[in-house]
Structure 1
Amino acid sequence: MGGFKAALINEVEKLYKKKKALVAVIISLAFIVIGQFGVIGVRSSFGLRGVGSMEFPILILSLLVKTILPLFTALITIDSFSAEFSQNTMKIALTRPVTRLKFFAAKLTAILIFILANLLFSMIFSIIGGLLLDSNSFTLQGFFRILICYLVTLLPMMVFAMIIVFLINIIKSGVGVFFVSILLFIVFKGLEIIFSRYSGIFFTSMMSWYNLWIISTFPFWKIVRQFMMMCSYSIILFTISYYLFDKKEF
């Protein structure tokens, strides 16, 4: 456990020092500010209420999971693995007293911490933005609904990160992995629309599963089914990716 903890601290520190993490924070903040101006513009131009303080963070989340969150998850994941492959620094990291499994798990955990931090950062500032728009509609129940939505989004993003890790262990080029991952995202989005009846099996549809947690009639079994499917994807992808990683010669 000590080896895993040391490896995790090292990986988190490396991610923290990368400029991509800072850019992700800045762009997330820009999305919130643009969203505020958009709501204010609709309200002033058309006299519409727009969204309240409790709806605004959900609106921001729906934009994030379809745009910059998958993008920066792909970039950070690729940089965490592929950059070390190409710079031949993976061999140095593996000389430490830590097993490949712990090292691999530490990298994935650091990526999940980055995603969670980005989600929480966006949640806090979107709530503040919502309060600036309409502080009267704020409720404690609404806050917990927002918190749940942002937290449960971590699981589908974990599946997406695992897909990227799998591609990294097959394709050597980081640029190649990036374009393949973007292509896969677009293709699965298209398949989700074409085969709408079976859209639940595509990982892109799972990124919106937070909507299931806030509808009036709580769909318990549908949530459990989606949860089990995402766990299955994660276990399968983790096993295959680690097998490929373990067989690599550094």
Structure 2
Amino acid sequence: MAVFQAALLNEIEKLYRKKKVLVAILLSLAVIVIGQLVIVGVRSGFGLRGTGSVEFPMLVLSVVVNTILPLFTALVTIDSFSGEFSQNSMRITLTRPISRFKIYTAKITSIIIFILGALLLLLVFSMLAGFIFNANSASFDSLGRTVFSYLVSILPMTVLALGIVLLANIFRSGIAVFFISILIFLAFKVLGLLFSQYSSLFLTTQLDWYNLFLVNSFPLAKIARQFLIMLGSGIMLFSAGFYIFDKKEF
């Protein structure tokens, strides 16, 4: 366990030093600021109500999980694998007294921590912005649903990251992995629209999984089905990625 913790801390330190993480934070904050400014402008210019203190964080979440967060999750994941492959720094990591499985798991865990950190940061700042401009529209129930929506969004984002990890182990070039990831993402978006009856099977639709927790009827069967689909996909992607990673020669 101590060996894994050391590997995880090393991977987190690598992510901390990357400029992509800082850019992701700044862009996420920019989305919050611009979004709130637009809402205030619309409300003052047209006399519309805009969004409430709890509705605004949900608006931010719906935008970010389909744009900025997948993009930077892909960049961070590619850096963790393809970046080290191309720089031959993976050889140095493998010389340490630690199994490949622990190295692989530590890298994925650090990516999940990045996703969780980004979601929590967005949650805090978007809620602050919402309270500042619409403090009177909040309730404990809506606050709880908002926090829970942000937390459950980590699952589909993790599955997305595992898919990119698999691509990063198949293709050595980080640029190739990035563009293939974008093409697959866009293809899933289109397929989800064309075959709406099967949209729950596509990862791009699963990114909006949190919406199931916001309805009053609370569709437990649909939530459980989506969870099992994502869990099964995650296990398969994790196993396939590790198999290729374990067989690679550096």
Structural mapping, 1:172-183, within 5 Å: 172-183=172-183
Output the TM-score relative to the length of structure 1: 0.99
Query: Secondary structure of 1:249's match?
Result: coil
Q: Distance in 1 between matches of 2:19 and 2:168?
A: 21
**How far did 1:96 drift?**
1.0
**C-alpha distance after superposition, 1:46-101 (max 9, x if no partner):** 11101100100000000001110000000000001111000101010111111000
1:106 matched to which residue of 2?
Answer: 106
State the AA in 1 paired with 2:108. Answer: L
- Aligned residue number for residue 50 of structure 1: 50
Instruction: Deviation per CA, 1:145-175: give whole Å up to 9, x if none.
Output: 1110000000000010011001011111100
Counterpart secondary structure, 1:189: helix
**Where does residue 88 of structure 1 map in the other structure?**
88
Q: TM-score, normalised by structure 2?
A: 0.99
Among the aligned pairs, what percent are the same residue?
56
Alpha-carbon displacement from aligned partner over 1:101-147 (angstroms, at most 9, x marks no partner): 00000000000000000000000000001011200112222221111
Task: Tell me what 2:22 maps to.
Answer: 22
Does residue 171 in structure 1 map to residue 171 in structure 2? yes
| 1:209 and 2:216 aligned | no
Tell me, in whole angstroms, the C-alpha distance in 1 between the residues paired with 2:2 and 2:248.
Answer: 24
CA distance in 2, matches of 1:215, 1:35: 24
Structure 1 alignment gaps of length 5 or more = none
Unaligned runs of 5+ in 2: none
Matched, 1:156 2:172: no
CA distance in 2 between counterparts of 1:200 and 1:138 reads 31
Between the aligned partners of 1:96 and 1:76, the Cα distance in structure 2 is 23
**Alignment correspondent of 1:5:** 5
Aligned partner letter, 2:84: E
The offset of 1:41, in angstroms, is 1.1
Is the partner of 1:169 in helix, strand or coil?
helix
Moved more, 192-201 or 135-144: 135-144
Extract structure 1 runs of 4+ deviating beyond 6 A.
none
Query: Which residue in the other structure is 1:219 paired with?
Result: 219
Q: Which segment is superposed worse, 202-211 or 133-142?
A: 133-142
Q: Please name the residue that 1:194 is paired with.
A: 194
Query: Could you tell me how far 1:188 is from its partner in structure 2?
Result: 0.4
